[in-house]
Amino acid sequence: MQLLDGKQTSEQIKQEIAQEVTRIREAGGKVPHLAAVLVGSDGASETYVNNKVKSCERVGFESTLVRFDADVSQQTLLDKIAELNADDSIDGYIVQLPLPDHIDENTVTLAIDPDKDVDGFHPTNIGRLCLGMPTFIPATPNGIMELLRRHDIETEGKHCVVVGRSNIVGTPMSLLMSRNSNPGNATVTLVHSRTRDMEAICRSADILVVAIGKAEFLGADMVREGAVVIDVGITRLPDESKKSGFRLAGDVDFAAVSEKCSWITPVPGGVGPMTIASLLQNTLKARQFRQG
């Protein structure tokens, strides 16, 4: 088994982006500027947003963090989004999900200017993705594709099983893997909670992408010998031996599955850091797009 090391690969990508930022700065250009909107104080969301902001600083981007209390009204949030859309100094921004129940995520997503939608969640950008047009590809699936590309993992003609059909991971992942591209050109099966005989389908996969949010769900009995396994899940499990009081677990039983597969992403240190690197790539793209 070999590790698909997202930490190391994301560091390489960040170095490449930092070099590009230096080039822009030396040429007298404006460096990319990412804004992040955080509603409430959910521990995991705080961590994700802080990591995104810190990563911006590391590569030389400007960053702005906009915070709201959990009880902010939907209208106040929409007003801020309109402001960010109109603000010429901001190249791209994200609204960290999930949002509190009283705010409709679809209304918020639709309000974001597609040209600043570096998360790639706006229907315009998802539509472009479906049609194979240039777009902002959602960060997590894009990060997985980059990980496959940079490790020369063969995908053409392979059977790729994507477990989970969320709008932000499973569904775009299935589209990307089925596209006529490299990586891509795979034969894709998308499975979900209503799928029958999921175990057998997973066992037939050359490439398995698991994104369901159930800690250590996928065991060795669901994996074919030599498969490539991408574990997207991140669940906090209570662990008193840790200072934080929890440990992070993926959707895959790493100890058992790593005995059987050819490549596997660890959690943490796999898909997570690649997601952040992809967001930075999308922000750089937004800057380049805006300057024409």
Which are the catalytic amino acids? Answer: 52, 96, 119
* Nearer CB in complex with ligand NAP: 111/147: 147
Question: Shortest approach of ligand NAP to residue 205 CB, angstroms?
Answer: 13
**Smaller CB separation from ligand NAP, 180 or 193:** 193
Question: In whole angstroms, how close is the CB of 179 to ligand NAP at the nearest point?
Answer: 19
* Residue 25 Cβ vs ligand NAP, minimum distance, rounded to whole Å: 29
- Based on CB atoms, which residue is closest to ligand NAP, 32 or 273? 273
Concatenated DSSP letters for the chain? -EE--HHHHHHHHHHHHHHHHHHHHHTT-PPPEEEEEEES--HHHHHHHHHHHHHHHHHT-EEEEEEE-TT--HHHHHHHHHHHHH-TT--EEEEPSPPPTTS-HHHHHHHS-GGGBTT--SHHHHHHHHHT-S----HHHHHHHHHHHHTT---TT-EEEEE---TTTHHHHHHHHHSSSSS---EEEEE-TT-TTHHHHHHT-SEEEE-S--TT-B-GGGS-TT-EEEE---EEEE-TTSTTSEEEE-SB-HHHHTTT-SEE--SSSSHHHHHHHHHHHHHHHHHHHHH-
Minimum Å distance from CB 139 to ligand NAP?
7
Residues forming the site for ligand NAP (CB under 6 A): 140, 163-166, 168-170, 191-194, 198, 211-214, 232-235, 271-272, 275
Instruction: Give the residue with the Cβ less far from ligand NAP, 30 or 100.
Output: 100
